[in-house]
Amino acid sequence: MTKIKKSILLCVDDEEIVLLCLKEQLRNTYGQNFIYEMALSAEEAMEILNETEDANHTVLIIISDWLMPGMKGDEFMIYLENHFPNIKKILLTGQADPNSLVRAKTLGHVDHVLAKPWTKEQLVSVIGELHVLPSS
């Protein structure tokens, strides 16, 4: 019996309320077409990536906060670019310093920076611009 391959949308933020909001907005928009994974840190996200990247699952998009304890968002985006270059990357920020954003864009190849607070419409629009999800 062949398992159906499902794509994963991974959200990373150290604030649980932000993760719940992202998950709700994504699930309300895309329904059961994807697996929604949440991580409270870049380190936890790396564990999820290593556990889920297999023949039946692939992480399609990572939406990550910039300001987190431990590894900051720009460092995480650079890590992703070096180890998982096919994953689309969206950086959430309410207070990233300009130099970090430049690093995230040039070295981490961030696909889009989304300012906090965002709206569901902005999130869906940004994801749509990545051209990786089927039309809904």
Q: Between vectors from CA 58 to CA 33 and to CA 37, what angle results, nearest 5°?
A: 65
User: How far apart are the C-alpha atoms of 32 and 26, rounded to whole Å?
Assistant: 10
Asked whether residue 20 is assigned to any structural domain, the reply reads: yes
- Domain of 100? 6-129
**Res. 136 pLDDT band, cuts 50 70 90:** very low
pLDDT single digits (tens) 26-54: 999 999 989 999 999 999 999 999 887 66
Asked if pLDDT for residue 56 goes beyond 80, the answer is no
Asked whether residue 1 is assigned to any structural domain, the reply reads: no
**Res. 97 pLDDT band, cuts 50 70 90:** confident
- Residues constituting the chain: 136
Is the link from the previous residue into 85 a cis peptide, with omega within 30 of 0? no
pLDDT for res 35:
92
Work out how many domains the chain is built from and give that number: 1
Asked whether residue 60 is assigned to any structural domain, the reply reads: yes
> What global pTM score does this model have?
0.91
| CATH code of residue 105 | 3.40.50.2300
Asked whether residue 135 is assigned to any structural domain, the reply reads: no
Task: Write the CB contacts of 103 (distance below 8 Å, at least 6 apart in sequence).
Answer: 74, 78
